[in-house]
A and B are shown apart, each in its own frame.
Chain A
Amino acid sequence: MADMAKNKLKVLRATHQMTQEELASRLGVSRQTVIAIENNKYNPSLELAFKMSRLFQLTIEEIFTYEEDENEEA
């Protein structure tokens, strides 16, 4: 299975008291995309990641974490 970056989007959205619809319209994507990102089913593009980091005034690393699967190298 491909590695997926984990994110704190759900938590950040809750702290900023935003609905998925509001967040989606502020990021310029559909609500389904926000749901997919929150559930770690879809990795956003770099462009969208930057939009998120600007919206929440955090760095990309603070929103997303990426851990490589160690077993994959073996």
Chain B
Amino acid sequence: MYRMLYIKTMNNKTYKLYRIGIAFFVAAMMSIAVSLDNTWLAVSSVVIGMIFMAVVRSKTRRIVDEREVMVRQKSAQMTYAIFAPTVGLGSLLLMLIADESNYFLEAMGIVLSYLTLFQIALFSIFLVFYNRKYGGHGEE
């Protein structure tokens, strides 16, 4: 499960360099698009950047090992622990401060609270799924 995922030639350093290059290209194109007020240029630069990124990624010999998996798990866990209560409480606050003059705040609060509920529901579903997958439901 934790084997390296080799994908052809390029190593990690070259991949990072290419990634920085693509990011600079997209940023430059975006700034030009903004200064020219050209939406199509902005959209096409983002799409081109995404295509380049996909090509570069497909040519990279990337290593995803158990430590990286653990790092990702911990980051996801921390993101959830911070994001869910922040957005949940934020949505509650928005609904409380909303009145007739700024009714859109209530709508935003409702949207955010549904988003939080969706996130919690997803988390719970995956929690049950992985708990079952890794033997958490077995009998003695």
Contacts and interface: CB of A to CB of B under 8 A. Distances in A.
A30 B3 contact: no
A36 B70 CA distance: 13
B134 interface: no
Interface in A9-52: 28-30, 32-33, 36, 42, 44-45, 47-48
Interface residues of A, number: 11
Interface in B49-73: 63, 65-68, 70
A30 B2 contact: no
Interface string B1-15: 011100000000000
B67 A28 contact: no
A33 B65 contact: yes
Contacts of B3: 28
B6 to A, nearest CB: 10
Contacts of B66: 29, 33, 44-45, 47-48
A20 to B, nearest CB: 13
Interface in B1-41: 2-4
B56 to A, nearest CB: 19
Contacts of A45: 2, 66
Nearest to A48: B66
A28 B4 CA distance: 6
Nearest to B6: A28
Nearest to A24: B63
A29 B68 CA distance: 10
B32 to A, nearest CB: 37
A1 B66 CA distance: 21
Contacts of B70: 42
A32 to B, nearest CB: 7
Given A33-B67, A48-B2, 5 more contacts: A28-B2, A29-B4, A30-B63, A30-B68, A36-B67
